[in-house]
Amino acid sequence: MNPTARLGLLGLTIALSACSALDGEKIDYKSATKGPTLEVPPDLQQLSRESRYTVPGGVVSANALQAGQAAQPSATSTAAAAALGDVRIERDGNQRWLVVKRPADQLWDPVREFWTENGFTLALDQSNVGIMETDWAENRAKLPQDIIRSTLGKVFESLYSTGERDKFRTRLERAADGSTEIYISHRGMVEVYTSAAKDSTIWQPRPVSPELETEFLRRLMVKLGVSEEQSKAIAAAPVQLPPSARIASVGGAPVLQLDEGFDRAWRRIGLALDRTGFTVEDRDRSQGVYFVRYVAPGTDKEKEGFFSKLFGSKGATPPLKYRVVVRSEGNASTVSVLNAAGAPETSANAQSIVRVLAADLK
């Protein structure tokens, strides 16, 4: 075969390989253990829990301590549900979550297994607060599946990288009827060059992917007993985008205003806190309060995460505790930031928290 023919055959092979990659599985995660270290927000380092929050025998969300007082779903809720067996997926605006008619302590181990089976390692595994979080991982399905990588990829796997990393937080909350709500939130990072010479890189946040969140909810349904075909049909249903949040000021303190009732506002704020990396130390749905911890920029550059840089300040400060409070009247809700003592917060940190939440709720 002459050289021209060989080149033509090689080009055809590469093209066919690319096409087959597009038609195949789109998710194939592998925990990121090599390459430049990701800057992990210090907010993700949980404080030690007090034993009074621990329920013997398994998982409990913080608001389960108030289960007898937990607010019931509104009769006018716009959430739509589709159920198979004891598992159903609910939709409210652009959010999806699972409701499983099983106690949370029976679900913790299967959910943990689910993430490890999908190629992740867990960086956070706290059943006492109902939160687990994966380490940063790379979706290897995004790599070009050309003939060269097909031949050498297994030998030189570390030479290939997508330049993207993902992590997922799973939150389990007990409902008053004994069932469990499961939320999955995504966070992403992308590696970018720091100069025109392309001699060094940094990792920075990239937009949240609701599509990835939905796909992993669908896969979790399969793990919990729903067939592959049924899960695809349920997860594919269209959703309606919710109203965005508006930033306002009340008595000099920043607030978010939402044109929706408590149930929807509570869920949206909870997911926004998960997506943006806040540490939620406790939550009390009956009072509409998320107890969060914000870590301002660290004492040195190595400990300074992208979340700290997002707030754009420098200098060492201790962890600060705030309360993110959801208050509703009819079909309108207001979200405010209080300090640890429960007083309205007017600081620059409060302004930043409100801006970050508003950006995620768009």
Look at residue 283 in the predicted model and tell me its pLDDT. 85
Look at residue 204 in the predicted model and tell me its pLDDT. 87
Q: How many Å from the N-terminal Cα to the C-terminal Cα in the chain? A: 58
Look at residue 218 in the predicted model and tell me its pLDDT. 93
- 14 part of a folded domain: no
**Number of structural domains the chain divides into:** 1
Quote the pTM value: 0.65
Look at residue 11 in the predicted model and tell me its pLDDT. 42
- 245 part of a folded domain: yes
pLDDT (tens place) for every residue of the chain, 362 residues total: 444 444 343 343 333 333 333 333 477 777 765 444 444 443 433 333 333 222 223 333 333 333 333 333 333 344 555 556 799 888 877 788 999 999 999 999 999 999 999 999 999 998 888 899 999 988 877 766 555 555 555 544 555 567 889 999 999 988 889 999 999 999 998 988 888 888 888 888 888 888 899 999 999 999 999 988 888 887 776 666 667 789 999 888 999 999 989 988 998 899 889 888 788 888 888 899 999 987 654 433 334 444 444 444 444 456 789 999 999 988 899 999 999 999 999 998 899 899 989 988 87
Look at residue 81 in the predicted model and tell me its pLDDT. 53
Look at residue 219 in the predicted model and tell me its pLDDT. 94
Look at residue 136 in the predicted model and tell me its pLDDT. 92
Look at residue 156 in the predicted model and tell me its pLDDT. 47
- 4 part of a folded domain: no
d(CA 161, CA 151): 16
- 354 part of a folded domain: yes
Look at residue 330 in the predicted model and tell me its pLDDT. 87
Q: Which two tokens stand for residue 6?
A: 């060989």
- 63 part of a folded domain: yes
Query: Sheet of 289-294: strands edge to edge?
Result: 246-250, 253-258, 332-339, 320-329, 289-294, 279-284
Q: Which two tokens stand for residue 238?
A: 């269209």
- 193 part of a folded domain: yes
- 19 part of a folded domain: no
Look at residue 223 in the predicted model and tell me its pLDDT. 95
- 2 part of a folded domain: no
Q: Domain of residue 149: give its range.
A: 28-360
